[in-house]
Chains A and B, each alone.
Chain A
C-alpha cells in the first residue's frame, strides 16, 4: 500500500493520455495494419486475412514505383537543401551581425504558415508557362536572363522543384536549431583552438561542427519524417496529378477514388515503416545517451 502511494498518483495523472494515445495512435495504427492484411478491396466487402499479399502486390504497380521515386527525390533535395541553407543562415547569423533579431524573425516567419498556404503561393510562382506566357519565377528569370524551367511539371526533376517551397518553409527552423547549437559551443573551446594556432575555418571544421552533430541529427530526423509523409504541400501545388505523385497522395486516391481500403492501408503502413526507419534509431540513440549521462 505504501509503495502504491508513491507511484499511483503519477500513473493516474498520465493515465488519460496513455489511454488516448493507446486508442487513437497505436490502436488506429494496429487497425490500419490489420486492414492492410485483408483483401477488402471495395467499400462494402468484409475482407479476409491474406497476410502480406498486399505489401508484395503493390510493388507490381508502376504508379507505386513512381511515387516512391518521387518521395526519395523530394526527401533528398528537401532534407539536404533545408540543412545546408539553415546551416548557412545560422553560420552568418552567428557572426553577430547587426539586427540579428530582425533577421531571425524574418527567416522563422515561413514556419508560421501552413504548407497549404505555401503551396498555393508557390503554385503560382512555379507556373510552368514560358516566354510571353511566363508568370511568377519564370517571369523573373526571363527578366534577368536566366533560362526558364517547367518547375514541378518537369518530367525528371519536377520533385526537386516541389522541394523548393518546403525548403523555403523549413530552413528558418533549421537555422534556429543550428543557431542554438552554435551558441551552445563554449567560447573557451574556440579560444583554446585559436591559441593552439588553429585557423578560423579549422575552428569550425574541428571544434564547432563535431559539437553540432546532435543538433544535425535532430534536424535530420525532423525534416526526414516531414518529408516522407508529405501530402498537403503536394496537393496544394498540383492536386493529385501523377506527375507529382507521392505515397501519401497515392494513398488518398486509393481510399477515396478507387474505394480500395486495403490498398490505402498498405500504402499507409509503408509510410509509417519508412518514418520508423528514421525515428527508431534516433530513439535508441537518445535513450542510450541518457543512460550514459
Chain B
C-alpha cells in the first residue's frame, strides 16, 4: 500500500509540474507589459545595433524617447552581428512563438515581405496619416516601402552601400592619383597597391563579399540595368551580368585574408595595412567617432571616400526601419517609440552618430558635416538603386540563395557556376 501511495503521489506531482510549465508558456502572450520597479512600462526594442557608432546612435534616440515618455522605460533587446543575420534568426523564432518584441528593426523594402506575408506586421498607414509622414519622406522612398498601398515600417535613416573607403597615404605610396572612377581604373589601382606589399582590398566575412558584389554589379551594369535585375523575368544569364561577374572575380583576386566582420576589415584601411574596402557608409561613424566607439581617425587624411568604382551618380540605398509586430505586448509604448523614430528630433539625434542621413527631408542640414554632407547632397540628386545584401531589392530567401552562390564561389572560384547560382536564385524567388 505504501508503495502505491508513493507511486501515485510522485506521478501526480510530475503531472502537476507539467501543467504548471504549460500554463506558464501559454500565458506569456497574454501577459501585461512588464513593469519595472517604479511602475514604468517596458518597451522592448529589438535591433542589431551593438557595434561601435550604431549603438551610440541608438542610445541618443533612447534618451529622447525616455525624456518624452516618462511612463516608459526602454528595453534594449539588441543582438550583435553586422547586417543583422544573427538577430534575424532569433527574431524569426520569437515571431513564430508569438512572443514578438514590441518593435523590431528591419531593412525597409523587400526584406519585410516575408513578415508581411506571414501576417506578423501591423499596417502603419494610420500612423503615416496622423504624423503626415508622406509629406516629409521622399516620395520615391514611400513608394518603395509600400506593399499594396500599405506601409508597414517607419524608416529611421538612409544608408549608402556603394562607398569606396580608402587610405590616402597608402594610395600615395602606391602612386595612385585619386579614387578610381571606373572598374578598369580600380583594377589598375589595386595592382599598384599590390606591388607595395599592402593589402589592396580588405574584406570581412562572407556577407561583406556579397556587399562588394552588389557594388560591382551596379558599377558594371549602371543603375537602370541593375534595377531591372529585380523585376520579374529579369535576365541574370545575359552577357552584361557575365561581364560584371568577371569584374567581380578580377577584383576578388586582390582581396586580403577575410576578417571576422566588416569592422576589422575597415580597421585595416584606417591603420594603413590595406588600401581599399567597399562597405556601406556606416563605416564612416566607425572611422570617425572617438575611440570608445570608433577609431577616432581624421577624415580626408587618415581615410577618404568616393562612390564605388563606376557608380558615381547612383545612390545604392538601404534604410533601417522600425515595425509594429502584431501581438506586441506594449503596443502603445511601441507607437510612442515609432513616433520618436519617425520624428525630426529622433532622426537628427540618431543619424549623425550612426553615420547615416535622415529619411526625412526636413533634417537640420547643419548637423551633417563631412561625409554626411556629401551624402545628403548626393541623396537629393542621384538616381536610386536598392541594395541586395541589405534587404531593399530582394527578400530574405532570395538573399540567402545569393549568399549561398557567393559563398560557394569563394570556394570554387567558378564564375560560370556563380552566374548560374544567381540566375537560379532569381527564378526561384523573384516576385
Contacts and interface: CB of A to CB of B under 8 A. Distances in A.
A44 to B, nearest CB: 6
A43 B257 contact: no
Contacts of B399: 257
Contacts of A63: 404, 407-408
Contacts of A155: 411
Given A256-B89, A258-B396, A241 B407 contact: yes
A43 B117 contact: yes
Interface stretch (A8-16, A76-84, A171-179, A282-290): A8-16
Interface string B254-278: 0001101000000010000100000
A9 B7 contact: yes
A20 B411 CA distance: 44
Contacts of B257: 128-130, 133, 150, 153
Most chain B CB atoms below 10 A, which of A66, A153, A242: A242
Interface string A62-74: 1100100000000
Interface string A208-251: 00000000000000000000000000000011111101000000
A256 B86 CA distance: 10
B408 A258 contact: no
B7 A257 contact: no
Interface residues of B, number: 40
B206 interface: yes
Nearest to B93: A256
28 contacts: A8-B7, A9-B3, A12-B10, A16-B14, A20-B18, A43-B117, A63-B404, A63-B408, A123-B260, A128-B258, A130-B257, A133-B257, A133-B268, A150-B257, A238-B205, A239-B85, A239-B86, A241-B206, A242-B411, A243-B407, A252-B89, A253-B404, A256-B88, A256-B89, A257-B89, A257-B399, A258-B396, A259-B397
Interface of B: 3-4, 6-8, 10-11, 14-15, 18, 81, 85-86, 88-89, 92-93, 114, 117-118, 205-206, 257-258, 260, 268, 273, 396-397, 399-401, 403-404, 406-408, 410-411, 417
Given A127-B260, A153-B257, 7 more contacts: A128-B258, A153-B258, A155-B411, A238-B205, A241-B205, A243-B206, A253-B404
Interface of A: 5, 8-10, 12-13, 15-16, 20, 42-44, 62-63, 66, 123, 127-130, 133, 150, 153, 155, 238-243, 245, 252-253, 255-260
